[in-house]
Amino acid sequence: MNTIPSLRRAAAVATTAILAVAGLAVPSAASARPAADTSSAPAGITRQAASALVERLGADRTGGAWLDRSGRMVVAVTDAAAEQAVVGAGGIAQRVTRSTAELNAINATLGQQIAMPGVAFGVDSINNKLFIDADTTVSTEDYQRLVELAASHDGAVTVRRMRGELKPFIQGGRFITPNRGSEIGSCSVGFNVRKKDNPNSLYMITAGHCTVGASGVSDWYDGIGQYVGYDAGGNFPGNDFGLIKHNNASLSKPGNVWISEGVVRDVTHSRDAGLGETVCHSGWKTGYRCGEVLARNTTANYREGRVTGLDYTSFCAAGGDSGGSVFHGDAALGLVSGGIPEDCRTYVQPLNEALAWYDVEVY
């Protein structure tokens, strides 16, 4: 654990409670991304144009949109007329069997059928399926129930046994803790933020299970024992974001992300991550890592409760990275929530939802 000369870094925030969580379902690590059908279209279109096409064609005729490995947007469609509409707009169309409406309906059914901890599930638009993943805490009997449940959906759902136990990643970025002088229960700070109606009012945003887990704790410290600020709220379970108020004038609080000693990444705005997009994270435990967004709007049944609306990514993270920054270029995207380190799969709380909740913004 290193100290932080400024909170411009992806700092760490601590909690007094270590949350043990059961495994989530994620799209299979071995699932291959289908190749885009490029025979009928030249280059791609922008993410905004793809979103507009999907909205115009509707959820019954489309199956999602994502970046392929060459960086082009692909729009999944279910019929020839929709395919021609995408190609006519200059886009790349891929024919699929199941529409977004069908996938979302199955996902809603799974939400009613799956309550056990250690399991996660969601829509894998790139493979035109849904996934259910179970961690090592799920019993053999319960795993078989999941297999039977998936079979009842006529090949639309895959089930996979993960190699480890899914946990929220307590500890963190470039760290601070309520346990002064201790790493116990620490987490990563995601981003420095400011109140929209008062730009001089500065905060740190991090994972909600960090601030909520530190029940009764109000003061937070950095890695060398300096006072940083105090708890200003948390939302977990349901969501996974929390806020800490900056309250030490002697600490600089620039709005960038720490990458490594002497290297930072400036952040200028926030947005949602795109399916298939390459994203990176910074945390004090594993440092700077990158991967892909494999699925969005996934559900994680933590032992402490269900969290919905998470992005599912392929970058590696571990205990100590919770709350850490997730970003692409100068865009702030999310906060590390948890994952299964053995499978190098990490769940991310989208940042814009958290910013809107607290009426704050990155700077």
Which domains are assigned to the chain?
12-21+167-362 (2.40.10.10)
DSSP-based three-state secondary structure for 170: coil
Residue 23 has pLDDT above 50, yes or no: no
How high is the pLDDT of residue 57?
Answer: 98
What percent of the chain is predicted at pLDDT more than 90?
A: 68
322 as an active site residue: the answer is yes
Three-state secondary-structure class, residue 75 = strand
Q: Are strands 129-134 and 157-161 parallel, antiparallel or unpaired?
A: parallel
List the catalytic residue out of 68, 133, 186, 209. 209
Q: Which residue has the higher pLDDT, 151 or 12?
A: 151
49 close to 152: Cβ distance less than 8 angstroms: no
Average pLDDT on 150-169 reads: 91
9 has pLDDT over 80 = no
Give residue-wise pLDDT tens across range 211-264: 887 666 678 888 778 888 999 999 999 999 999 999 999 988 989 998 887 889
Q: Judge whether residue 361 has pLDDT over 50.
A: yes
With a cut of 80, say whether residue 173 has pLDDT above it.
no
b/e 97-112 (16+ beta carbons within 10 angstroms → b): ebbbebbeebbeebee
Residue 140 CA to residue 280 CA, distance in Å, equals 35
Strand partners, 67: 73
Mean pLDDT of the chain: 85
Q: What sign results for the dihedral spanned by CA atoms 208, 173, 183, 168?
A: positive
Is residue 210 within a helix (H) or strand (E), and if so which, with residue range? helix 208-213
Q: How far is 38 from 43, CA to CA, in rounded Å?
A: 8
Q: C-alpha dihedral over 277, 281, 287, 289, to 10 degrees?
A: -10
User: What is the band of 320 on the pLDDT scale with cuts at 50, 70, 90?
Assistant: confident
Does residue 275 have a pLDDT over 60?
A: yes
Give me the sign of the Cα torsion angle 93, 96, 102, 108.
Answer: negative
Q: What percent of the chain has pLDDT over 70?
A: 82
The pLDDT tens digits of the residues spanning 93-134 come to 999 999 999 999 999 999 999 999 999 999 999 999 999 999
What is the predicted pLDDT for the residue at 220? 83
Q: How many CB atoms lie within 10 A of CB 42?
A: 10
- d(Cα 94, Cα 252) in Å, to the nearest integer? 49
Catalytic residue among 240, 311, 321, 343: 240
CB pairs under 8 A, 24+ apart, for 47-54?
A: 47/73, 47/274, 49/73, 49/89, 49/90, 49/91, 50/75, 50/91, 53/85, 53/86, 53/89, 53/91, 54/100
Is the model's pLDDT at 167 over the cut of 50?
yes
pLDDT at 212: 86
Confidence label for 24 from pLDDT (cuts 50, 70 and 90): very low
Confidence of residue 30 (pLDDT cuts 50, 70, 90): very low
pLDDT in tens, 137-148: 999 999 999 999
**Which residue among 99, 125, 314, 322 is the active-site one?**
322
Confidence of residue 179 (pLDDT cuts 50, 70, 90): low
Is the predicted pLDDT of residue 171 greater than 50, yes or no? no
The pLDDT assigned to 175 comes to: 62
* Nearest by Cα to 86 from 98, 97, 72: 72
Q: Which of 39-53, 298-312, 349-363 has the lowest mean pLDDT?
A: 39-53
